[in-house]
Amino acid sequence: MTPADVPAAEEISADAFHALDVRLRAAAEPEPVRRPPSRSEAWIARTERLVATDGRGCWVAEDAGTVVGIVTSIRRERVWCLVTFAVRPGLQGGGIGARLLDAAQRHADGCPRAMLSASADPLAARRYHAAGFALHPQLRLTGTVDRRALPVVTGLREGSGDDLGWMDDLDRTLRGGPHGPDHTALAADGTLLVADDHSGYAYASESRLAVLAARDEQTARRLLWECLARSGESFQAAHVTATNAWAVDVGLAARLELGTRGYLGVRGMAPPAPYLHDGALL
Ligand SMILES: CC(C)(COP(=O)(O)OP(=O)(O)OC[C@H]1O[C@@H](n2cnc3c(N)ncnc32)[C@H](O)[C@@H]1OP(=O)(O)O)[C@@H](O)C(=O)NCCC(=O)NCCS
């Protein structure tokens, strides 16, 4: 993938995920909406950064000069993460994805750990299983926070660039590598909250949690409660593994709805805890 391919890659990812949402939509769910232009810009900016930092992990598949599939992946010290993977609807199921994933995984050579957040697409699950990933169902907490449930939370503050050093150390312990250059994308999407004693951090907007990492469950709970206190009309924490049952306790106490969607795929490691991963940057 070159910087010039990124707009075409964005189109394919928006089309593929919209088609997937339409295909898997439950009767009670609203009509899926294709990624709006406002979010396309952020997708393009993030992917341009990935091409710059991890060019060897980012590939396109072409047919007669037209991009028909894309993959982006990053390597952060001891962990390789799959960020995005999509094939043009209508061409899926024919082996293009397998070749793309093989190419991206060469960026993981010598990396002992790997993570990805899989959609609910059965085709994706087949590919990841074939690549040696263990698939752990993702629990999802969504809805409007019952503000009467909010406890008093102390010992947290908004973070700054000065906090990134210890945050990266915490990520090394929890997942095998720092977020490093990916803090830019995470910060563009939400507010950084940190524990005064450097025992954890979270990135969250009013509407969704991106990442939450902590040394202990007590800190993790406090961080999640603070994210919920700052939430707007609706909020979602979409990437909770069963090993992070503390997050289910908090979410249900706040009267969010519990469901399941997709998988955390891990290779060479167990699902991290106390840790809620970002859907793209892990
Ligand atoms: C996931 C995705 C990128 C894979 O690319 P692809 O070109 O479809 O993948 P492949 O054809 O190489 O592999 C698909 C596998 O599913 C199988 N398959 C095809 N139709 C299937 C179906 N209806 N149900 C289950 N498996 C199916 C294929 O036979 C193949 O398995 P095999 O290699 O063991 O035979 C693509 O399907 C896609 O864009 N999906 C929507 C977006 C998405 O979910 N991306 C993943 C985000 S984590």
Determine the Cα–Cα distance for residues 148 and 260; give it in Å rounded to an integer: 26
Could you tell me if the CB of 220 is within 6 A of ligand 1?
A: no
pTM above threshold 0.95: yes
Supply φ then ψ for residue 202, to 5 degrees.
-150, 145
Cα(131) to ligand 1 centroid in Å equals: 13
Same domain, 177 and 60: no
Cα(161) to ligand 1 centroid in Å equals: 40
Q: Which domain covers residue 100, as residue numbers?
A: 3-111
Could you tell me if the CB of 81 is within 6 A of ligand 1?
A: no
Whose Cα sits closest to atom 10 in ligand 1?
95
- Whether residue 122 lies inside any domain: the answer is no
Bond before 3 cis per omega within 30 degrees: no
Which stretches does DSSP call E strand in the chain?
59-63, 66-76, 79-87, 113-118, 134-143, 156-158, 191-195, 200-204, 209-214, 235-240, 257-267, 275-276
Q: What is the pLDDT of residue 94?
A: 97
Cα(154) to ligand 1 centroid in Å equals: 46
- Whether residue 130 lies inside any domain: the answer is no
DSSP 242: G
Same domain, 146 and 269: yes
- Whether residue 12 lies inside any domain: the answer is yes
pLDDT tens digits, residue range 14-60? Answer: 999 999 999 999 998 899 999 999 899 999 999 999 999 999 999 99
Determine the Cα–Cα distance for residues 265 and 147; give it in Å rounded to an integer: 34
pLDDT tens digits, residue range 148-174? Answer: 999 999 999 999 999 999 999 999 999
Q: Could you tell me the CATH number of the domain that includes residue 91?
A: 3.40.630.30
Sheet with 66-76: strands ordered across: 59-63, 66-76, 79-87, 113-118, 257-267, 134-143, 235-240
The atom number, within ligand 1, closest to the CA of 93 reads: 11
Same domain, 95 and 167: no
Same domain, 100 and 145: no
Which parts of the chain have pLDDT scores under 50? none
| b (16+ CB within 10 A) / e for 27-43 | eeeeeeeebeeeebeeb
Q: What is the pLDDT of residue 192?
A: 98
Could you tell me if the CB of 176 is within 6 A of ligand 1?
A: no
- Whether residue 165 lies inside any domain: the answer is yes
Could you tell me if the CB of 122 is within 6 A of ligand 1?
A: yes
For the chain, the residue count is 282
Supply φ then ψ for residue 16, to 5 degrees.
-65, -40
- Whether residue 136 lies inside any domain: the answer is no
Same domain, 153 and 201: yes
Q: What is the pLDDT of residue 189?
A: 86
